[in-house]
Structure 1
């Protein structure tokens, strides 16, 4: 099945109609940057900087250490860290050793961590001292053999590295004492060792680079298999789209989490491919971010709507000079039109909305940044080398222009499948097309529009949240008989989580008690913000809870 790709007529002359890239693996990209731009700054973190040459040397040391621990080609190594230099070093070191990176959200609680570590079969994990206890508690239920521990202070400049532990202790309590053992290692020590690095042959097209976990309507996360080619091709598409950005001259604002595939591609890989300096921001604080943009003169700013909304609504935004920003691509959730207008007025740069999935490494569609119109309400057009079509949900046939159906994607960035899950893989990969589960249509010009989601996924603050997972935790509470979770519109988060619960006869539980219980079981962004207690929930004739009806009722009340 071929499409006419009418969107290609919209491309300005500066964007090639196909994607062009060299078959360099991800470690080779870093090696290239270190050789050609050795003294160029790769990382800026809280006032301390690191060159590409230094970054490369540290990755080789850690890679050799991992091999010495017994990590072999194809083994999985988890990285559970915020945006700090150790994350960048770990990512490229694991790949250099021939292993596979398994990104893990540092907000995850024990049950979530345990599932990913067990499912991936990770042999090692690199994490923060403050998160050590969470990993240690689940270690026995997994294949973990080694835990490598680091601290945020390890790469802070003087005197921040001295002051930080006291500030940390005051805010979060003292970090746990890390026991020295054959299975527990300090990150700072790993890169001081001089083990010999064994060369590993990596296939650009076939070898897996990352297992990026994403959820589904089943509530169980699935490991998305992304190869070196998947990530390099998608990053090359991004580079072609950003044709006004200059190699070796841009400054990347790294506020999108690097454990998220969008941050991973647009920051971690693109910055190395194009030799940009990464300004690493470990957590989002609007005031700190405004100061950072002004001081560091950031020029490229990938983000999620909640980040831009937080900045544009800051009471003192007029005090800051944000004119260095040339371009921003918003992903993970729909971007309000008023935010686009405010952002462009304040920065003088362009911001556009894009679309993608973890399964597509992740980007497939974006509006044009320059030299073409931005169509409000549209996710834009497919990237170079990417094909897109609308398929009938009933027949599976390709539909004509203007018809609504399921969005399908084809291109070199499409995943190889789900880890150890052929059944789910076969559901979404059909004749070379990835069926996204999103309902969409294409207009006469070739712009695409998302109408609705086939799945009941909730996107809050750019995070994908799966109702079934939350419902399962609610059902574990002894006072709850029935539960259903929906996403409702939220002006800041895009959507927020609402839970409907029916209590067991004769049992009681307060909203505060339920909130405390949920926070002990789930990452904070998944915890319901609103609870509604009901005597019964609407159901179909066969007893299935009507989640869609609950969502519609909530939205009617809010309107």
Structure 2
């Protein structure tokens, strides 16, 4: 496709943001090491009343690194981390890197089938997990290459007396108290750390070639794949994020980390950003609207990365106006489209900026963002980050599309992955002349702002017309009764597919299918108007709060297959 000669988006860069960055040629863990030596007493994290300085986190990371070495972990070995957001999820991540290992982030909600696949595929040698999932790990361990399991609990790094009370709360919430059988291959994290040295391990790392992370994709289109991200990929994306946030008080921000660190989005814009910026991260193990509102007020959080469903939950909390949210300066929204209505309401409640960006696991993950303190066109994902090239590829010609023409987004940049772990054919299919094909359909306008119309695979084709679910959802969000809305395509004998929407109403709100039909007809072309409506109390979501559209599609597919069988 050749090189992009004109990059109209660069005209929108304020003078404070460089169009090109000279990235540090050093591994990711070096930022924690340097901060621990230069700002040892500065607080890095706050967790339910527990605080740890940069030096304390670094010391714990070194202890963990030496523990891994004592268990036989060598440079390049994979170490799985299956933890919610806790202090140990931070220092185990950096500790694994300090040992020269590659981190495999593992979702604590994984069922045994998903867990087994990821461990077998990655070839992980050691896993550190939360005690609640110990049983699941043990049920699959004999089918994997795992040699050691390190177990920890939320209580392990809570302050007194919370550490004594928490086990009772855990039993009440989960219905059981985890029983762990310790032996030569199952270890207590706390005991390992106590018996380990605070010594640096000499390492030579090729930052552009050696992997810091294997981050598995959600697997909604088949088997989950391990995305190979190098130290350079993660350093570059975190640095790009820091440069984009030029108007913040670097080193003195308070970052609310409710997004899980085991997801690359929370890892980059939350954990890694806090370490590189030398700012404080306030960690929450899960998203709860009351807890988030309370934490913003008490900890005076200034930066809050999140997903649209998080902001939707907060603005619709009946007690939201009882909390002082005025400390919020910047909110970074990703993982799913941000409805305009949600952006406007959240900004009016906090006085801060809520901007939408775009990215994907294969790009560490951020590629685009709206300007925080500049022009933010309605519905746009913004403009590419420094050193990030973007092309729109026409489905008809395979060439670069003209401004305004819809095609597939293709990305080049220092944050783009090396490829998929042990999947050379899929890696080759995902790249075209060194451009990463995202599978997202969108366009660039004449000014250089980008818009996503939908996932390539989510597009609905009804009666020969291309219909993009996001457009329908944006309209429905304008209805005062709607809290959440998702549109999908379902089989239709006449049109091929037709539009069905799932709607969650706001608490106390009432609305009928007829009312939504009339509302939609006022705002959408006739062929885009939903034909089917279903009201739900909640929608299936990932841990990041991203609605699992594919789960709804699969539900409808099964219904259709069941009806077909009954009628035959």
Matched, 1:51 2:53: yes
Matches of 2:177 and 2:262, distance apart in 1: 22
Matches of 2:500 and 2:332, distance apart in 1: 24
Matched, 1:301 2:276: no
Secondary structure of the corresponding residue to residue 26 of structure 1 = coil
Matches of 2:449 and 2:243, distance apart in 1: 19
Cα shift at 1:216: 4.9
CA spacing shift, 1:174–1:217, aligned 2, 3 Å? closer
Equivalent residue, structure 1, for 2:196: 194
Equivalent residue, structure 1, for 2:72: 70
CA spacing shift, 1:35–1:451, aligned 2, 3 Å? same
What is the TM-score of this pair, normalised by structure 1?
Answer: 0.83
Equivalent residue, structure 2, for 1:434: 436
Unaligned 5+ segments in structure 2 are 460-468, 474-485, 489-496, 507-539
Equivalent residue, structure 1, for 2:278: 275
Equivalent residue, structure 2, for 1:361: 364
Between stretches 232-241 and 194-203, larger displacement belongs to 194-203
Matches of 1:312 and 1:147, distance apart in 2: 41
Superimposed CA distance per residue, residues 480-526 of structure 1 (whole angstroms, 9 cap, x where no aligned partner):
xxxx9x99554589xxxxxxxxxxxxxxxxxxxxxxxx99xxx9986
Superimposed CA distance per residue, residues 276-326 of structure 1 (whole angstroms, 9 cap, x where no aligned partner):
111000011101110000000000010000110100111011111101111
C-alpha contact 2:98 2:201 (8 A) present in aligned 1 = no
Matches of 2:393 and 2:321, distance apart in 1: 47
Superimposed CA distance per residue, residues 151-177 of structure 1 (whole angstroms, 9 cap, x where no aligned partner):
000011111111111111122133332
C-alpha contact 2:76 2:101 (8 A) present in aligned 1 = yes
Equivalent residue, structure 1, for 2:263: 260
Determine which of 340, 354, 372 is the counterpart of 1:337: 340
Aligned residues: 489
What is the TM-score of this pair, normalised by structure 2?
Answer: 0.82
Matches of 1:7 and 1:489, distance apart in 2: 36
Cα shift at 1:20: 3.3
Matched, 1:443 2:445: yes
Cα shift at 1:218: 4.4
Matches of 2:396 and 2:552, distance apart in 1: 36
C-alpha contact 2:392 2:444 (8 A) present in aligned 1 = yes
Matches of 2:502 and 2:404, distance apart in 1: 27
Secondary structure of the corresponding residue to residue 149 of structure 2 = strand
Matches of 2:442 and 2:431, distance apart in 1: 18
Matches of 1:217 and 1:490, distance apart in 2: 22
Determine which of 246, 249, 262 is the counterpart of 1:246: 249
Matches of 1:375 and 1:5, distance apart in 2: 18
Determine which of 215, 223, 228 is the counterpart of 2:226: 223
Cα shift at 1:17: 1.1
C-alpha contact 1:217 1:456 (8 A) present in aligned 2 = no
Matches of 1:487 and 1:103, distance apart in 2: 35
CA spacing shift, 1:10–1:142, aligned 2, 3 Å? same
Matches of 1:304 and 1:536, distance apart in 2: 33
C-alpha contact 1:153 1:161 (8 A) present in aligned 2 = yes
Matches of 1:76 and 1:251, distance apart in 2: 32
Equivalent residue, structure 2, for 1:33: 35
CA spacing shift, 1:241–1:49, aligned 2, 3 Å? same
Matches of 2:546 and 2:241, distance apart in 1: 31
Determine which of 322, 325, 337 is the counterpart of 1:322: 325
Matches of 2:170 and 2:178, distance apart in 1: 12
Secondary structure of the corresponding residue to residue 191 of structure 1 = helix
Superimposed CA distance per residue, residues 119-172 of structure 1 (whole angstroms, 9 cap, x where no aligned partner):
000001110111100000000010000000000000111111111111111221
Cα shift at 1:194: 3.1
Within 5 Å, which residues of 2 pair with 1:26-425? 26-195=28-197, 197-216=200-219, 218-370=221-373, 372-425=374-427
Matches of 1:490 and 1:23, distance apart in 2: 48
- CA RMSD, 1 decimal: 2.6
Cα shift at 1:268: 1.3
CA spacing shift, 1:456–1:37, aligned 2, 3 Å? same
C-alpha contact 2:392 2:400 (8 A) present in aligned 1 = yes
CA spacing shift, 1:78–1:355, aligned 2, 3 Å? same
Matches of 1:487 and 1:122, distance apart in 2: 42
Cα shift at 1:362: 0.3
Superimposed CA distance per residue, residues 62-84 of structure 1 (whole angstroms, 9 cap, x where no aligned partner):
00010110001110011111010
C-alpha contact 1:404 1:441 (8 A) present in aligned 2 = yes
Secondary structure of the corresponding residue to residue 235 of structure 2 = helix
Cα shift at 1:400: 2.0
C-alpha contact 2:309 2:546 (8 A) present in aligned 1 = no
Matches of 1:271 and 1:123, distance apart in 2: 29
Superimposed CA distance per residue, residues 320-355 of structure 1 (whole angstroms, 9 cap, x where no aligned partner):
110111101100001111111111111111010000
Secondary structure of the corresponding residue to residue 326 of structure 2 = coil
Cα shift at 1:378: 0.8
Equivalent residue, structure 1, for 2:491: none
Within 5 Å, which residues of 2 pair with 1:460-471? none
CA spacing shift, 1:31–1:492, aligned 2, 3 Å? farther
Cα shift at 1:456: 3.9
Secondary structure of the corresponding residue to residue 229 of structure 1 = helix
Matches of 2:322 and 2:289, distance apart in 1: 13
Between stretches 195-204 and 170-179, larger displacement belongs to 195-204
C-alpha contact 2:336 2:546 (8 A) present in aligned 1 = no
Unaligned 5+ segments in structure 1 are 468-483, 494-517, 540-559
